Amino acid sequence: MLSSTAKYNLALRDFRRARLRATLQEITARLRGHSTALLAYDEVMARLRMTGSAERGVQSIPVKKIVGSVGRYNDFSRTFLPRRDHNRERWAAVRTATERVTDLPPIQVYQVGDAYFVQDGNHRVSIARQQGLEYLDAYVTEVRTRVPLAPDDSPDALIIKAEYAEFLEFTRLDVLRPGANLLTSVPGQTVHLENHIEVFRYFAEEAEGRPLSDEEAVRRWYDEAYLPLVEAVREQGLLRFLPGRTEADFYVWIAAHGAALRRELDWPVSPPKAVLSMVDELQQRGRRPLQRLARSVLNVVRPESAAHDLLEEQWATTRLLARYSDRLFQDILVPIRTPDDYALTQALAAAAQEQARLYGLLLTPAGADDPDQAAQVHQAFEERCRREQVQGYLAVESGPLAAHVSQRALLMDLVVLDRALLTTPDGTFTEDGLALLAVLRRPLLVTSAPSRALRRLLLAYDGGGCAQEGLFIAAYLAEQWGASLVVLTVLGTGRTSAATLDHARRYLALHELEATFVTATVTEPRLAAATISATALAHDADLLIIGSHGEHQPVGRSPGQTAAQLLATWRRPLLVCP
């Protein structure tokens, strides 16, 4: 059996080994830019804002969750290795006091969130860590703070939580909206949240002509500004793109992204549309570092971005809820050359029907900017919007049609276009028109005559994906606009059969809608367009609805043969579904 002196010498040897490990750990941490320091209880309390405490008695606590000390945070590392030589006698004495550290009296700790701070027993914790003990008995005092602490919180995380605690003290949001979690993953973000509250308050007071109390401003900002955007983030699953980031992170970024889009496009951008725009940006860039995302946030409005995964989803998928609870076309884009364009008249009628926002885009030839003419068109555009009681905005751009329209179409639900912007007078597609059709992922309403009331619809239905989009829109227009509906299937094209209409019948029956179902037969697929035109004329259709591609034709190329022929020849309003 070892003597007391031998045991003490062995304990001193263990201490020297622990000191060496602490030194090596600290050198490695410095090289990596990390810290091995224990957290200081008083500093944490000052930052996280203590709200109360309660005695919890003796408990068995996880040793690895002990992350700080009340008075000796400079004497030990984060893993409770000794950092000072003057501790060796005390350390060795505790080590030799008993065979097992668990036989010593329980330590005393403060519990803050899921982490513990040693009030008494630092050496016992250090020895327990070296012996590989997983649990220690401890007298526990639970300390409640506005923001909970986790055992693995880094110094940055502590700074973030301290900032959040100050934010909660300033706003009382944890009291006003219990359960709300606006923690960020980056220091310095809560000041942006405070600024957003003040901006929201300013505009609300301006609109309502009365002051808002601090409490009302915070509550309304959270309910009317923050929560709708965060719910859109959840719906789109944005957090999967940047693991470790939070909903509050995305709120700050998307709010900034929306502001940048407003400046770039010279239009207001609703938060849900800014979210969809951010989704496309993240889809393009993948899981790149956050700073690259911030630097290139405006790249989202480039035309080629429309071809990527999420925004290639069928338009009806993203607007499905609107089919039952909201307007289908909330935002309508109409490129124009003059305020008398047929397309603007048709777009105004649609916007008035849907109570939608109308976004005009005045296209001028490259190098032919005329501020006076633009001002006149802008005035005429606003006057027409006022007459129709439509909320309208106008931006001016020069250069290619495809580039500017596809930029903005990502934020729209419908694009209304004069046929003359797609084709020449003899029906030949322009290069710019083909470029636009290749990238556009929103329903396109084409017109080339004075506006018609869209009361009689004909849907050319071949069962393909784009035709399903057409069926979705046709059902909406029939139900919400009170339009009559004819559904036509052309047989003999190689893609359809007599059973093709069955799905359309079932879908419309599910929505309790009546329709006339028609089949026609052609000997060659190239004759389908003429047959559709003739049938539409026979039924005096105000609007012809088609898919832009056939059932087996890939999206992202020039329009299918039938769609292209109808775009070039049909003279009444034509709705082309992506």
The neighbour count for residue 443, using CB atoms within 10 Å, is 27
Superfamily for domain range 321-436:
HUPs (3.40.50.620)
pLDDT tens track of the chain, all 578 residues?
567 777 777 878 888 888 888 788 777 767 766 677 788 888 888 778 788 888 899 999 999 999 888 888 888 888 888 888 877 888 888 888 777 777 778 999 999 888 899 988 888 898 888 888 889 999 999 988 888 888 877 766 777 888 888 899 889 999 999 989 998 887 778 888 888 898 889 888 988 999 999 999 999 999 998 988 888 778 767 677 667 788 888 788 777 666 666 666 666 666 556 555 555 555 554 434 333 333 333 233 233 333 333 333 434 444 544 444 467 888 899 998 888 888 999 999 999 999 998 999 988 876 556 777 788 888 999 999 999 999 998 988 887 888 788 778 877 889 999 998 888 888 788 888 888 888 787 899 999 887 778 999 999 998 877 888 888 899 999 988 999 999 998 887 666 776 778 888 888 888 888 999 999 988 887 888 999 999 999 999 999 999 865 443 433 445 678 888 898 889 899 999 87
- The domain segmentation of the chain, as residue ranges, is 39-151, 190-301, 321-436, 456-577
CB neighbour burial string for 162-195, b if at least 16 within 10 angstroms, e if fewer = bbbbbbbeebebbebbeeeebbbeeeebbebbee
Domains 321-436 and 456-577 agree in fold:
yes
pTM: 0.56
Alpha-carbon distances, residue 248 vs 103, 252, 301, 330, 559 (angstroms): 47, 6, 24, 26, 42
- Token output for 259: 């502001």
Looking at CATH, the fold of the domain delimited by 39-151 is given as 3.90.1530
Using an 8 Å Cβ cutoff, are 323 and 472 in contact?
A: yes
C-alpha closest to that of 420 among 336, 494, 313: 336
- H helix and E strand count, the chain: 23, 16
- CATH assignment of 456-577? 3.40.50.620
